[in-house]
Homo-oligomer: A and B are copies of this chain.
């Protein structure tokens, strides 16, 4: 198989972690005789510094022309502390999602037994948890019209959904539920929001086409609570852009650390694969970041973008083997982890490569 893969490291720890996602893809290519051709492009703060634009045209063109994208992270504290900045790194990420039509963001909460103790939740609460989030990614209050009046006394963002936007992501989620335990929970705030009421209506309609899937509707506040109380009760979770952003970060604690979670954004065009963690500027360049989320993003790419299930499984297994052998980065270590088992980014990445043989 021959594929063109674009690497967009982005900001902060992005460069360090995508290095290892790429190494793993290289290893898989070698082993299974695929040809993966890599190119690289800039986005976010890095791109603003270089060109003034968080998503340069060249990056977008390369993205559209590639078969899959491995992305690192975005964001910089500089802009966070300056709410009036007009050009911001995140605009690059939002624009590429929109331009590539990446309306479905899949976030599997994959729990490795070895990390049961890394979580702040009790092991008995966690054991057996396996959730697949479908977060809508190109609509909602993220993309609605933004306003600020001239004297800075008022600001607004339009939260909005079109029926077809709910329809297409719902179908993807129901299809996935069919291949799993046939349970789907749709999360909204239909007791307050008109957008959520439209969302719920559409999901109710589509549910009729999937009578074999048990469908539940839950309010976002309740879902945020249940996710801590009893994560096992969830299987496929379908939700809007903003609620999905919040719930999936919260759910990262089920997996022990944000540093473990990969995501796949898919839709009309080239698929986009990225860790759910951010740019973590506080540890950038210090060889401290956990490369596993980027490596697992590469596994999702193999599986979802290229249909290479065996290769994907092998990568996930190598991550499991690395953890089983006791290797940890700082974020997933605990008080009992021996100091000589705690590795930096490079050493952890190299371990996974070893297990890929």
A→B interface (CB under 8 Å): 75, 79-81, 83-84, 88, 90, 94, 120-122, 125, 141-142, 144, 146-148, 152-164, 189-201, 204, 217, 219-222, 224-225, 227-230, 242-243, 245-250, 252-253, 258, 278
Taken together as a complex, chains A and B put the C-alpha atoms of A146 and B197 apart, in Å, by 11
A158: chain B residues at CB < 8 Å are: 156-159
Question: Do residues A198 and B148 form an inter-chain contact, with CB atoms below 8 A?
Answer: yes
CB-CB under 8 A from A160, the residues of chain B are 154-157
- A120 is contacted by which of B125, B141, B222 (Cβ under 8 Å)? B125
The reply to whether A191 and B79 contact each other, CB–CB distance below 8 Å, is yes
Given contacts A80-B219, A156-B161, 9 further A-B contacts (CB under 8 A): A83-B201, A90-B192, A141-B141, A148-B197, A153-B162, A155-B199, A220-B245, A222-B249, A246-B246
Residues of B within 8 A of A230 (CB): 120
Q: Does A225 contact B252, Cβ atoms closer than 8 Å?
A: yes
Partner of A204, one of B83, B147, B197, B198: B83
Contact B198 A221 (CB under 8 A): no
A253 to chain B minimum Cβ distance, whole angstroms, is: 4
Residues in B with CB closer than 8 Å to A75 are 191
Measured CB to CB, the closest approach of chain B to A81, in angstroms, equals: 8
Q: Which of B155, B222, B243, B245 contacts A195 (CB 8 A)?
A: B155
Contact A194 B253 (CB under 8 A): no
Q: Which residue of B lies closest to A76 (CB)?
A: B191
> Which of A148, A194, A245 has the largest count of B CB atoms less than 10 A from its CB?
A194
Ordered by A's residue number, 10 sampled pairs between the chains whose C-beta atoms are within 8 Å are A80-B191, A81-B217, A83-B204, A90-B191, A146-B193, A152-B163, A152-B201, A153-B163, A154-B162, A155-B198
- A159/B157 contact (C-beta < 8 A), A79-B191, A146-B194, A224-B224 known: yes
Q: If A120-B228, A141-B193, A191-B90 touch, does A221 touch B201 (CB 8 Å cutoff)?
A: no
The residue of chain B having its C-beta at the shortest distance from the C-beta of A120 within the complex is B125
Which of chain B's residues has its CB closest to A276's CB? B221
Check if A228 sits within 8 Å of B121, measured CB to CB.
Answer: yes
Residue in B120, B125, B191, B246 whose CB lies within 8 Å of A224: B246
A227 to B245, CA, bound (A): 15
A224 x B247 contact (CB < 8 A): yes
6 closest Cβ pairs, A-B complex: A155-B198, A156-B160, A83-B197, A221-B249, A146-B194, A224-B250
Chain B residues with CB below 8 A from A278, complex form: 222
> Separation in Å of the A74 CB from the closest CB of chain B?
9
CB–CB B125/A194 < 8 A: no
Report chain B residues within 8 Å CB of A161: 154-156
State whether A229 and B190 are in contact (beta carbons under 8 Å apart), knowing that A155-B160, A156-B158, A250-B250 are contacts in the complex.
no
The answer on a CB contact under 8 Å between B154 and A163 is yes
Which of B147, B194, B227, B258 makes the CB contact (< 8 A) with A148? B194
Chain B hits for A250, CB < 8 A: 221, 224-225, 227-228, 250
Asked whether, in the complex, the Cβ of A258 is within 8 Å of the Cβ of B120, the reply is no
Chain B residues with Cβ below 8 Å from A249 are 221-222, 224-225
Are B195 and A157 in contact, CB atoms less than 8 angstroms apart? yes
**A250, closest chain B residue (CB):** B224
Please measure, in the bound complex, the distance between the C-alpha atom of A343 and the C-alpha atom of B218, giving whole angstroms: 28
Residues in chain B near residue A81, CB distance under 8 A: 217
Q: Which of A84, A193, A200 has the most chain B CB within a 10 Å cutoff?
A: A193
